[in-house]
A and B are shown apart, each in its own frame.
Chain A
Amino acid sequence: MKGKLTNVVGSSGVQSFLASLLSIFCGLLVGLIIMFIFNPANAFAGFVDMITGGFSSMTYLGQVLYTATPLILLGLSVGFSFQTGVFNIGVGGQFTVGGLTAVLVGGLIDLPSSIHWLVAMLAAALVGMLWAVIPGVMKAYFKVNEIITCIMMNYVGMYLTNQLVKDLHYDRTLVASKYIKKSALMPKLGFDKIFEGSSVNSGLYIAIIVAIIIYIILYKTSFGYGLRSCGFNLDASKYAGINEKKNVMYVMLIAGLIAGLAGGILYLSALTKNLKIQETFLNETNYAIPIALLGTSHPIGVVFSGLFIAYITVGGTLMQGKGFPVETVNMITAVIIYFAAFSLVFKQALGKMSLALAHKAGMDNNANAEVKSSKGGEK
């Protein structure tokens, strides 16, 4: 029994999972404490609303899936880059320019509805990819830190998007882009019947398919093996003959592509979804890093952590009835990221615990062996 427990706690996947759960638990706890300090009367009821809201009706469940779609994709973009030793913190820009492309293609061009959404979505992914070219080239061939170039590209992307919306497709009264054409909407594929009143659409399938593709690339191909080995130990990989420059380029391009795709899908998902002129990034892009971290950068883990963040986000909208703003969820997510940054410490603690258990189990075994051998001696 003890031996089994040791094996389970000892495996690094389980340790990562436990570390994520611990981060989530700490984040929720700190969130509850802050809520309690500012509004003790309603804190507990509001918290319960947030935790249970996502399951309270089919519409809300649909909204969870709808909210999760871009989140999963953004988490995949960041998580994929993490695994390969690149830090794609530029999803803000890639997502925004992707969204812009989708809005422009969906709103300005006339195409039959069977392919319009597809064209707009693919164009969004392509432009997202292009936005990652500069950080990629700078990192791969000129050794410039990708984190800083990514942050700079985020702001360039944001201001450029605001300007192009104003120039090309602007609605003055809404201070936002005009709506897209009906033919450019993502197909619902019957989701609207199951989850009445929610905006969930075929984008969800795309997100899951992308997760599976990333999983296959990373774990089932030699290309992905090369990418991951660069993440583990760059020098050893170079010594083994892996072209790390090319790999960095591929990683940035793929990560940008996925982030652009996320932007495209979000803005093609509902007729009333327009690109607002604002000088902040959407929450979705702030969640990308926490989702990747909570999912331990593993594609399957990212799908679940994306669903989790979407779940508490939807629950958070219900909390308003108890006098708590939606931003409470952002705050809790921030605390979760903060604790996720400690996950290494958590993992080390778990590792020590499993070692201690193993040691104990080993002692027991030795003791048994000694007893046996001494018995043998008697014979």
Chain B
Amino acid sequence: MQNLELSVNMIFVTAKDWILALLGHFLPAWIVVLASILISGVAILCLGPVIMMYLTLLERKVIGRIQNRYGPNRVGIWGLLQPIADGIKMFTKEDIVPANADKLIHLLAPIMTVVPALMIFVVVPFGKQMTAVDLNIGFLYFIAVSSITILPIFMASWSSRNKYSLLGGMRTAAQLISYEVPMTLAAVPAIMMSQSLSTNAIVLTQAGSLGLNWFIFTPWGIVGFIIFFLCATAECNRPPFDLPEAESELVAGFHTEYSGMKFALFYMAEYMNAFTLCGIAATLFLGGWQGPILPSWIWFFGKTLALVCIMIWFRGTFPRFRVDHLMAFAWKFLLPLTLVNILLTALWHFVSPLAAWPVSVLVLAVVLYTLVKLNRVFVPEKRSYVFAD
């Protein structure tokens, strides 16, 4: 029984080890090392696009249900082949480049968006011993790589020579830089408590006896998770933070001038970012692959998909932010809250848990109340026109 559980738990790791052992019989050691890199690389390179394809289907299905429609259900059963049909459509479409566009950068931008999106997969711990590269600065790597995504978006907007694209790019730069700050700071408590930047070590600290000692079960964990998740939604330009590609104002924002597969690459990057950001959020606060009974990778994918579904739920619910509200929310509300949260985590570390809960809740309540009061938007009193009545 123990053996079976272990084997299901480690099914992918065992498969990889088995292939490597097989290769080791008749190939020199350095080729086996290369093969090891190749296997992980190919797995990630296949996983990314497949996840993207089926997230689009999931999104269209869930949004459809929210709006009392079926969503795609014609290609294959339950529309399961719809993403493939979409892919074929994208591949066969004409690639139009504006006459005055900066051709090289216009070509490079969609390629460059996908690369960091795929690179983040490297440090995501998919399961027990299933981190492709267990960097000891895994989280730092994630922050660094995910912040590159601003650059190709700005490249795309600048090179297409279109005012809508440029406006979208400007908004992206402003939004992503703003939300990067509270996102990083919201993750600091998790790093403080696990005393490591390695994503794998962060997951291991949340083990507990049943694998249920997740950070979200603490006051600073809840606050940190909510802030991190909101910022992650903003980071991958998903509604209600989709100002960079606001259809009603900017046609399609930074990818207005892209068609065919180049457009599809932007889409792919967006969905892969959504998935990895949800994965990192699950890693930092929801215990990653920790959990009782079920195999570790099922826990990880379950948590991540649940978060993705919440993102889709957001999209089905909320209207878009106004630009100034968006900025004010990041700088005037989330940022101070994350700073308080970091202090609270330190307090939690030194005070016994019994006393820490009421103290934390009290501090958070006071801070929230103050921030809400301070952030109140000035609404002038209704004017009355004496002579008009």
Q: Do A and B associate with each other?
A: no
Using a CB–CB cutoff of 8 Å, the interface residues on chain A facing chain B are none
Using a CB–CB cutoff of 8 Å, the interface residues on chain B facing chain A are none
